[in-house]
Amino acid sequence: MFVVPKVLVNDDGSLGTPNDVQCLSIEHKLGIHASPTCVMAYGQSQGAVGYLVGEPNRGLEYMFVMMNAARLSVGLEGYAVAERAYQQALDWAGTRIQGKPPGVRQEGPAPIVHHPDVKRMLLSMKSQTEALRALTLYTAWQLDLGAQHPDELARARAQARGDLLIPVVKACSTETGIELASLGIQIHGGMGYVEETGAAQAYRDVRITTIYEGTTAIQSNDFAGRKLARDRGESMGALIADMRAELQALQIDHPAVMSARDASLAGVEELEQATHSLLQSYAQSPERALAVSVPMVRLAGYVIGGWLLTFSAAIAAHRLANGATDRDFLQGKIASARFYASQVLPQATALARVVATGADGVLDVGEAALSR
């Protein structure tokens, strides 16, 4: 890594001659217009001067420290933009008047929020945003413990879990963030295409997040290779064991929470099976695992999200039973876990099948078969 100043600095600290570095053009991007990027040219005539940061040959190591923070932050950006899109979509759905769905008895037309499919889209946005927020915060917590826990073994375990989850946060929060921002436009209908609603801006802004700080494929390759195969699934096995034990121990007199718990436990089984499949594939040839690494990381994201949402719902149910006053908020947490268990988590079953059997459909295809 180098710092290349615009103006060279003299030995006495005063500004010297301009460095041979030029900005050739500002890029016109899809969204994030408040964060301009440009094409730079270094050393076109007499040569540019750059200053090495840190020690020679340790750049890759430094980059990974920087990258972990950046990957976590971009993961956060993915769900944060989706959260903004949700708030916009929720406001819209509560005020946009259209034909009434059959079950609504009020006089005259009603807002679209009463339509089952609009409610489905809103719940999809709400539940997945909450799951991704929980996943990101859980990962950040593990990294904090990895840096600060007084016990050395606990530090090492937490760091391993944080490292395992970094690519999951980055890949899943951004891929889902795009899907949710797209749902936000869908809820707005035709007005989603009209700039004044702001729905399209969220979609454009979030689109970059699966690309910068490592594309989804790069995160997934890291997950399959460095995070799963390198320790033969040990870190993932520890996480699976913790999730299973905690879910099995959860007992609460609330049918919706218990049914979310059962769905989450089934998801943990799928994740375990898929981890074994992926490790077997990797042992045959890394290529086999890389052909299904994106489905694998998405599966991990859905299942870990389900585990965390189940606990969020259990805490909410406990507080409700103990007379908490913010009842709508707490009921909302239970609604999220319930919806997630019935409409989001079933994707884990399909993804586990893809991880187990999907590689041949990629690897057996020669490039010639892609021609049109």
- Residues of this chain that interact with ligand FAD (CB under 6 A) are 29, 37, 208, 211-212, 214-215, 217-218, 221
CB of 211 to ligand FAD, least distance (A): 5
Taking the CA atoms of residue 111, residue 114, residue 119 and residue 122 in that order, the dihedral angle to the nearest 10 degrees is: 20
Of 212 and 254, CB closest to ligand FAD: 212
Distance between start and end Cα atoms, the chain: 42
Measured CA angle at 277 (ends 271, 282), to 5 deg: 120
Of 137 and 211, CB closest to ligand FAD: 211
Of 214 and 295, CB closest to ligand FAD: 214
CB of 212 to ligand FAD, least distance (A): 4
**What CA–CA distance (Å, rounded) separates 128 from 126?**
6
Measured CA angle at 25 (ends 24, 29), to 5 deg: 150
CB of 366 to ligand FAD, least distance (A): 18
Measured CA angle at 225 (ends 295, 278), to 5 deg: 50
Measured CA angle at 181 (ends 176, 185), to 5 deg: 145
Residues 165/139, Cβ–Cβ less than 8 Å: yes
Of 130 and 175, CB closest to ligand FAD: 175
- Of 170, 148, 156, the C-alpha closest to 214 is 170
What phi, psi does 350 have (nearest 5°)?
A: -65, -40
What phi, psi does 344 have (nearest 5°)?
A: -105, -50
Which DSSP symbol is given to 50? -
What tokens were used for 34?
């408040």
**Residues facing 52 on adjacent strands:** 2
213 included as an active-site residue: yes
Burial of 325 (0-12, 13-18, 19+ CB in 10 A): exposed
Residue partners of 315: CB distance under 8 A and separation at least 6: 333
CB of 31 to ligand FAD, least distance (A): 8
Of 77 and 163, CB closest to ligand FAD: 77
CB of 35 to ligand FAD, least distance (A): 7
**What CA–CA distance (Å, rounded) separates 235 from 256?**
31
Of 8 and 30, CB closest to ligand FAD: 30
Of 5 and 286, CB closest to ligand FAD: 286
Residues 295/355, Cβ–Cβ less than 8 Å: yes
CB of 165 to ligand FAD, least distance (A): 20
Catalytic residue among 77, 213, 270, 272: 213
CB of 218 to ligand FAD, least distance (A): 6
The catalytic site residues sit at 213
